Amino acid sequence: MCEPRAKRHRPTPLSSIDHSFLRGSACPGLMRIVQARDGGLARLRLAGGVLSVDAARAIARAAVRCGSGVIEVTNRANLQLRGIRDAAHAELIDIAFSAGLGPSVAGGDDLRNVMLSPLASDDMRTLAARIVHAMQADASLHALSPKFALQLDGGERLAMLDHPHDVWLSSTDDGTRFAFGFVDAITHGALGFIACKEAQRFVMTVLHAFVEMASPEERRMRDLLARIGIERFLDVLPVHAPASEWRRAQADASLRFGVHATHVGGQPPLGRLDAYTLEALADLAPSRLVMTPWQSVLIPDVDATRAHEVLARMNALGLATEKQAPFARLIACAGSQGCAKSHADTKADVHRLAPLLPHETSAHLSGCERSCAAAHPIDATLIACAPGCYDLYHHARLVACAQTIEEAAAWLARSHVDA
């Protein structure tokens, strides 16, 4: 039996909420802080990955005042602060809201999972903002899982096309229409088309249909479609044009590195920043930083006369600014230092792997089978089975069991030569 439709009620605007409680205790409805092995983990959702320089400085201070000082860029282009002390939850939430990083309504924080290209246009960002606002304002959608995710793609050359979002829209026909799809990545083709002016209404229709048709156990679109089938779900949508053979043009992920006309980019090792580095990046930026779903950072609108100076400074801060750099090709989860489910210290092990990694090979180290850190395909995945010991998957195929880092690197080197 499907979950009963949630009763509509008018959401409470933040302007009318009494924030005096922030002096004494945190409110889960405003920001979710979950417990990890190394303390509280606070997720800060950024609008399309954008972080103003003032907000960046505020978050750098908060990371030290409230936590361990560790700041992570996530694979959804958001930020995570680690090691948040129990007594500092309220202070962290207050800082985040003062920096403009909180939701617009209580209970709306987990709804803001809308991914854009780091190079998204103002029009695309405006559409995303309207959708996010509508989602937060509709209390019936607060039942959506925190992992339920949307993607808006304007056809940019730098775009993450491999993430399996629950709902995605991709601009086509010179921006007059969006192709749309569910679950599969954009590159797998589309289910149909909608006019651009209908995008917000279409997304809201899809979300309401999901909430009404899904059972309590069906938290993601793939769960619902596995039970009812795609045709039955499409029957309730206002869609009339089939997608035929549409495919989205390829993107170029390497544009996140180096100097370009629109930005300068680099990747912190394993997506981790400390407070000093984040503040230093803010000092380099004219007005904002942009986080990417590759866990990297762009500095947009840099004057051409300063671009190479900014690049050199990013290098000095330890960011990889070329796609060939080992830490431009490595991903690792929190590992046993930060997660109780992990079988190995992946953060330490990946530093052992870095100098051994074959040229042009990418690798992902996961402390358990959940594979949290990589939402897109990676050449090689090492899944820990014991401390320092990994099962090796190459292009999603298990090729070797219980390998040390050195043994796995040797296997990848042989594979690279054979290829």
Residue 65 placed within a domain? yes
pTM above 0.85, yes or no: yes
Q: What is the pLDDT of residues 94-107, one digit of tens each?
A: 999 999 998 888 87
Q: What is the CA radius of gyration of the chain?
A: 22
User: Are residues 165 and 60 both part of a single domain?
Assistant: no
Q: The CATH number of the domain where 333 resides is what?
A: 3.30.413.10
Angle at 150 between CA 145 and CA 155, to 5 degrees: 170
Closest C-alpha among 46, 97, 53 to residue 76: 46
* 239, pLDDT greater than 90: no
Percent over 90 (pLDDT), the chain: 77
- Is residue 228 in a domain? yes
In a domain, 112, yes or no: no
Distance CA 372, CA 357 (A): 21
Alpha carbons 332 and 249: distance in angstroms, whole number: 29
Residue 186 in any domain: the answer is yes
The count of domains in the chain is: 4
Q: What confidence category does residue 184 fall into, taking pLDDT thresholds of 50, 70 and 90?
A: confident
Residues 294 and 218 in one domain: no
**Is 115 contained in some domain?**
no
As a whole number, mean pLDDT of residues 45-63 equals 97
* pLDDT of the residue at 73: 97
Co-location of 220 and 262 in the same domain: no
378 domain-assigned: yes
My answer on whether 145 and 204 are in the same domain is: yes
Confidence of residue 9 (pLDDT cuts 50, 70, 90): very low
Q: What confidence score (pLDDT) does residue 415 get?
A: 84
- Tell whether 59 and 101 lie within a shared domain: yes
Q: What is the pLDDT of residues 248-260, one digit of tens each?
A: 999 999 999 999 9
Flag whether 357 is in a domain.
yes
200 and 292, same structural domain? no
Same-domain status, 277 and 179: no
What is the span of the domain harbouring residue 53?
14-105
Tell whether 92 and 175 lie within a shared domain: no
pLDDT at 29: 52
Q: Which of 290, 318, 346 is the last residue of a domain?
A: 318
Residues 99 and 150 in one domain: no
Check whether residue 306 and residue 406 sit in a common domain: no
Mean pLDDT of the chain: 89
In a domain, 3, yes or no: no
CATH number at residue 27: 3.30.70.3340
Residue 336 or 189, more confident:
336
User: Are residue 83 and residue 21 in the same domain, yes or no?
Assistant: yes
